[in-house]
């Protein structure tokens, strides 16, 4: 029988707040992904006036577009220069991670086989994620709008860019790149609670009103991007925006930042400025706590 739920539409199956892993054949067709306004290279991007870089970025973006047609991920044949950018950034960050990253994250990087030596491919990380939490990565050619991006998390799918930042500024990127995705985001998807929490956000995005979507964006920002966690009396970082940026990571642990206990109500009502360093960050007591408060919150939608 057809049931009507708050989320049911002709095209979309009903959403329940359970965690499920979809079998390959039950995933929505990637070719049906419709995105408007996929972010192209901004004028203030360090590579904006480098013709060779632009061509390279366009080529890698094409591979992501091809994936949407075929459903098959093409490994990127990274150039020696791209590998050098990776090695530099990954080594610098690895040192900072030893001091500031959540112990779970440190273990996860090892579990996923992410090393400072070379850029990891989405296909190899997908093989491990499938075994561990059933999460998967799908290539995307740029920054997509919030609802579409978050909604894919409801299928335990994260859209990931594959190109790398410009070599003139290895410490900086104005857009997500393979460093931000692989060093920042992907390791945390090996955590069952974090994977479930991400899926709940995805469920929420699919049924949210515009106002709720804005709140979800803030929750995502202060957790997935800039989250901190308490670990044996110490504060550690697990957010991708922190773990993939020297500047943000250093800043997050400085006296310029107020680190507050996580309060969902407060977080979803706190606006942020993505172009500036964060003055306030939120510390969760555990990933299971984060998962459960998020579940209750999404259930209220």
Contacts to Fe ion by CB under 5 A? 240
The Cα 179–Cα 217 span in angstroms is 22
Nearer to Fe ion, 208 or 224 (CB): 224
The Cα 97–Cα 265 span in angstroms is 29
| Least distance in angstroms from the C-beta of 170 to Fe ion | 18
Q: Choose, from 102, 225, 245, 248, the residue flagged as catalytic.
A: 225
Find the residue with minimal CB distance to Fe ion: 240
Nearer to Fe ion, 15 or 89 (CB): 89
Read off the DSSP letter of residue 208. -
Nearer to Fe ion, 204 or 241 (CB): 241
Nearer to Fe ion, 158 or 207 (CB): 158
Structure tokens at 282: 């939120």
| Least distance in angstroms from the C-beta of 223 to Fe ion | 11
Judge whether 180 counts as a catalytic residue: yes
| Least distance in angstroms from the C-beta of 93 to Fe ion | 15
Query: Please, is 32 exposed, middle or buried when counting C-beta atoms within 10 Å of its C-beta (0-12, 13-18, 19+)?
Result: exposed
| Least distance in angstroms from the C-beta of 239 to Fe ion | 9
Q: Choose, from 181, 244, 245, 248, the residue flagged as catalytic.
A: 244
Backbone angles phi, psi at 260, to 5 degrees: -105, 150
Q: Choose, from 97, 185, 215, 248, the residue flagged as catalytic.
A: 185
The residue behind tokens 């003139």 is: 168
- Residues 224, 226, 230, 232: is their CA dihedral positive or negative? positive
Judge whether 299 counts as a catalytic residue: no
Q: Choose, from 141, 180, 203, 248, the residue flagged as catalytic.
A: 180
- The candidate with the shortest Cα–Cα distance to 227, out of 245, 240, 212, 246, is 240
209: region left, alpha or beta (phi > 0 left; psi from -120 to 50 alpha): beta
Residues labelled as active-site residues = 180, 185, 225, 244
């Amino acid at each position: 029988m057809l049931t009507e739920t708050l989320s049911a539409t002709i095209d979309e199956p009903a959403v329940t707040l359970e965690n499920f892993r979809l079998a390959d054949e039950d995933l929505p067709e990637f070719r049906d992904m419709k995105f408007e306004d996929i972010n192209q290279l901004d004028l203030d991007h360090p590579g904006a006036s480098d013709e060779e870089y632009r061509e390279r970025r366009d080529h890698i973006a094409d591979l992501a577009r091809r994936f949407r047609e075929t459903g098959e991920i093409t490994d990127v044949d990274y150039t020696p220069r791209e590998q050098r950018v990776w090695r530099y950034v990954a080594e610098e960050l690895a040192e900072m991670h030893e001091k500031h990253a959540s112990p779970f994250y440190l273990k996860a990087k090892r579990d996923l086989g992410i090393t400072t030596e070379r850029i990891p491919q989405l296909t190899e990380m997908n093989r491990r994620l499938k075994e561990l939490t059933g999460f998967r990565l799908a290539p995307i050619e740029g920054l997509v709008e919030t609802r579409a991006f978050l909604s894919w998390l409801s299928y335990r799918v994260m859209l990931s860019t594959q190109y790398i930042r410009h070599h003139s500024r290895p410490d900086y990127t104005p857009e997500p790149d393979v460093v931000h995705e692989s060093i920042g985001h992907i390791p945390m998807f090996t955590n069952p609670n974090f994977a479930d929490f991400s899926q709940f956000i995805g469920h929420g995005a699919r049924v949210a009103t515009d106002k709720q979507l804005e709140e979800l964006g803030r929750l995502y920002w202060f957790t997935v991007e800039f989250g901190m966690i308490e670990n044996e009396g110490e504060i550690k970082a697990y957010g991708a925006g922190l773990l993939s940026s020297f500047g943000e990571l250093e800043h997050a642990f400085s006296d310029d930042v107020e680190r507050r206990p996580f309060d969902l109500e407060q977080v979803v009502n706190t606006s942020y400025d993505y172009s500036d360093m964060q003055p306030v960050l939120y510390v969760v007591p555990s990933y299971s706590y984060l998962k459960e408060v998020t579940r209750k919150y999404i259930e209220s939608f």
